Amino acid sequence: MTTGIKTAKPEAIPADALPLVKSGRGYTMLDGIRIVDLTTSIAGPSATMLLADMGAEVLKIERPNGGDDARAWGPPFLDGEALWFASVNRNKKSVALDYSSPEGLEILHRLMKTADMVVVNVSPRVARKLKIDVATLRALREDLIYVSITGFGIDGERADWTCYDLIAEGYSGIMDVTGEAGREAQKVGAPAADMLAGQDAAFGAIAALFDRQRTGKGHVVDVALVDSMTRFLSCRIMPYLGSGTVPTRSGGRDSVIAIYQAFETADDPITLGLGNDNLWQRFWDAVGKPDQASMDGRRSNIERRENRDDIVAEIASILREKPRSHWLPLFAAARVPAGPINRVDQVVADETLHRRGLFYRMTADDGRIVPQVGTGFVIDGTPNVPRCAPPRLGEHTDDILRELNSSSTQ
């Protein structure tokens, strides 16, 4: 995999600076697994892209008129393609199929008989109406893995309520603890509930496939955005359960670790996390004041939390004396956890992330150059490479229908 970053022309878009990666076979752990993807937007497509990245064949079934909702999410667009859509749909085959019609439903049900898994993200009521509910589809293939992603789960009083990431973040409690003290609640700056639910769905799907290999039995994997987002908050919920103290917004300055927050320097801010006594001592050694670490009221994390305001004020005063370019190398050499607060453009320019294959461009079959954010982990020392770019709407319809018709006549 190419890792160098070429210099972008002044008029170029940022993606032009990414390495151009040739498509290949990529990871093959799920080679031979066929998944019918009936999802739209972010949570479901992110789940099926993770499975596709691992080698599964994902048939993305889309409405002929418009396709996945995320295809319209913009601007910005690149070569007519919505970039939100392109972020979660590589390595898939797009089949344009109106399965609300009897003819389309018959084709879908024939496809289901060839599939190992189906992923849906509509409410149980809509699933029954469209005949893509658990009972209908597992009647076509008994060992089918049925993965459902909804706002609130497939049963209960909220099962048919509509939900988006924003709604799930509000339900979960994450918005109430995000933001500055005394200010309004804030949504996380990315579709956190969608992405977490997508990861949960992919994880549940893999576990279900593993068990089916042993037992021959299918499974129903029921993922809810609110559940996934709430589990994300478990480290804040557990202290409440054991103490009765309700956490409040603090701008991230109320960690159980006494010193664990952002600080201003003479120019740009940094983060600093002093999570144990050794790190506490190393920090003070690094800033040239080793005796500060063992002062009364500072020897343990419990003591430091009791005196946090005074300690934070002292550290802030020290860090404001010199720029970030002074502190970060100093702390890295001392093995003190600290880092910059990067903008997105700075993240994309990070050479370490490039070496891990996280950002690249690829060429689609129709000649488009499509930027991508990679799988996000490395297996056997090798970053993943893409098999194919996010598909145009209906790009693979004819191929899949020919295959289906051919197999039905044999």
Active site amino acids = 194
12: left (phi over 0), alpha (psi -120 to 50) or beta: beta
Q: Which residues pair with 150 in a beta bridge?
A: 224
Three-class SS state of 74: coil
**Two tokens, residue 218:** 């299918």
Task: Enter the DSSP assignment of 179.
Answer: S
Strand 77-78 and strand 81-82: the pairing is antiparallel
Closest CA to 223 of 163, 175, 177: 163
The rounded distance, in Å, linking the Cα atoms of 38 and 118 is 7
Integer Cα distance of 306 and 319 in angstroms: 22
- What are the start-end ranges of the H helices in 31-101? 43-53, 83-86
Q: Strand 369-373 and strand 359-363: pairing? A: antiparallel
- Which is nearest to 118 in space by CA: 227, 218, 225, 224? 218
Residue type, 409: T
Residues 132 and 99: beta-carbon distance below 8 Å:
yes
Of the candidates 40, 146, 18, 37, the one whose C-alpha atom is nearest the C-alpha of residue 91 is 37
Q: Which of these, 344, 46, 29, 356, lies nearest to 200 by C-alpha position?
A: 46
C-alpha torsion sign, points 182, 186, 189, 194? positive
**Residue 145: strand, helix, or coil:** strand
